[in-house]
């Protein structure tokens, strides 16, 4: 019997990590080794779990040298944009130093290294963007993710970068909110909400991002891939879609522009991705935003059952 290739996931306790582990276990093509900071918070079985502090160079080196994974999907990062702006040292440590340690370990193990990146490496002056768009981040989070990308592109092992946009979904323990849940719960409570209509994104269902990363892993694909949802929308338009789906009062949704919100970190106004390359080369088929709302609605009901 052929031994399965080992796939190692960082950030397995997070939203993307949960979806990656679920899908990989279901497919059964890889031996799945999940890792995260502290104890395993993932439900189910069919995978191994290793606690790992990716900001500890010697720990990363030791653990990956003993596992020797064929593939690493590096999804762990400090992603809260305002926190990154205010705690730049922690952000650099989590997003740049940790990536450097993992790249070094991947080179030693000759692993295929897949790095999850973001639309926030771009200025937001135009969109949607393809894989060749020129990066120019407007916040510290974007700067660190771009530095991470550069480390990956220079590495001496096979690599791929999976760039994504506004990932939303439901964690197994309902611990995370997202635009769909926020709009739904606010409108159900009769609360008026201000939603920006001058930012543009291609929102991405967490399951689709996981599926895109797995396609890269299965095919040993190399290079940069835009892995996002297919719909180019403003948050205001997303909110309207949510209200329509659940039959809620749209008059509670008020248009706002970005200047009405004071946030420590600047947001790029217009990003969003063209996903033609991922569709043609990987066979990536993401759900529409409308379909994704339906998937989340089912998951909410299951979580409450």
Residues 62-74: pLDDT tens digits? 999 999 999 999 9
Contact 293, 237 (CB under 8 A): no
pLDDT at 1 over 80: no
SS3 at position 102: helix
Return the number of other C-beta atoms located less than 10 Å from residue 103's C-beta. Answer: 24
Query: Mean pLDDT, to the nearest integer, of 135-164?
Result: 98
pLDDT at 19 over 90: yes
Query: In this predicted structure, what is the pLDDT of residue 177?
Result: 84
Q: What angle do CA 246, 249, 254 make, to 5 degrees?
A: 115
CA contacts within 13 A on the Cβ side of 44 = 18
Which is nearest to 8 in space by CA: 106, 85, 91?
106
SS3 at position 285: coil
DSSP codes joined into one string, 41-71:
---S-SSEEEE--TT-HHHHHHHHHHH--SE
Cα(99)–Cα(54) distance, integer angstroms: 8
Query: In this predicted structure, what is the pLDDT of residue 221?
Result: 98
Tokens representing residue 78 in the block: 């400090």
Single pTM value for the model: 0.98
pLDDT in tens, 267-301: 999 999 999 999 999 999 999 999 999 999 999 99
Domain ranges of the chain: 5-170+203-230+267-287
Query: In this predicted structure, what is the pLDDT of residue 202?
Result: 98
Cα(76)–Cα(116) distance, integer angstroms: 8
Query: Mean pLDDT, to the nearest integer, of 144-152?
Result: 98
pLDDT in tens, 28-52: 999 999 999 999 999 999 999 999 9
Query: In this predicted structure, what is the pLDDT of residue 174?
Result: 82
pLDDT at 216 over 80: yes
pLDDT at 304 over 90: no
DSSP codes joined into one string, 228-258:
--S--B-HHHHHHHHHHHHT--GGGEEEE-G
Which is nearest to 8 in space by CA: 119, 158, 129, 114?
114
Cα(244)–Cα(304) distance, integer angstroms: 22
3-state secondary structure 112-154: EEEEEEEHHHCCCECCCECCCCCCCCCCHHHHHHHHHHHHHHC
Cα(155)–Cα(43) distance, integer angstroms: 34
SS3 at position 103: helix
Contact 230, 275 (CB under 8 A): yes
The pLDDT mean for the chain works out to 97
Q: CB within 8 A of 236, min separation 6: which ones?
A: 195, 196, 197, 253, 255, 256
Query: In this predicted structure, what is the pLDDT of residue 10?
Result: 98
DSSP state of 2: P
Fold of 5-170+203-230+267-287: Rossmann fold (3.40.50)
């Amino acid at each position: 019997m052929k031994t399965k290739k080992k796939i190692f996931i960082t950030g397995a306790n997070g939203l993307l990590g949960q979806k990656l582990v679920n899908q990989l276990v279901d497919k059964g093509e890889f031996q799945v080794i999940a890792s995260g900071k502290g104890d395993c918070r993932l439900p189910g079985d069919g995978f191994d779990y290793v606690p790992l502090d990716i900001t500890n160079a010697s720990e990363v080196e030791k653990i990956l040298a003993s596992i020797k994974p064929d593939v690493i999907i590096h999804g762990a990062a400090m992603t809260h944009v305002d926190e990154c702006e205010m705690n730049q040292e922690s952000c650099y440590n989590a997003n740049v130093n940790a990536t450097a340690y993992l790249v070094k370990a991947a080179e030693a193990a000759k692993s295929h290294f897949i790095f999850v990146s973001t639309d926030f490496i771009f200025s937001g002056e135009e969109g949607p963007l393809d894989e060749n768009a020129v990066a120019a981040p407007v916040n510290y989070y974007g700067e660190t993710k771009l530095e991470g990308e550069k480390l990956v592109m220079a590495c001496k092992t096979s690599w791929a970068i999976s760039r994504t946009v506004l990932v939303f979904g439901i964690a197994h323990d309902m611990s995370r909110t997202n635009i769909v849940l926020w709009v739904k719960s606010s409108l159900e409570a009769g609360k008026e909400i201000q939603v920006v209509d001058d930012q543009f994104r291609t929102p991405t269902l967490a399951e689709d991002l996981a599926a895109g990363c797995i396609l890269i892993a299965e095919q040993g694909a190399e290079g940069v891939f835009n892995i996002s949802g297919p719909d180019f929308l403003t948050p205001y338009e997303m909110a309207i879609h949510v209200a329509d789906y659940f039959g809620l009062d749209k008059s509670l949704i008020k248009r706002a522009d970005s200047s009405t919100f004071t946030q420590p970190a600047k947001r790029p106004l217009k990003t969003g991705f063209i996903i033609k390359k991922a569709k043609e080369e990987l066979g990536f088929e993401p759900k529409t935003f409308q379909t994704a709302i339906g998937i989340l609605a089912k998951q909410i009901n299951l979580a409450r059952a």
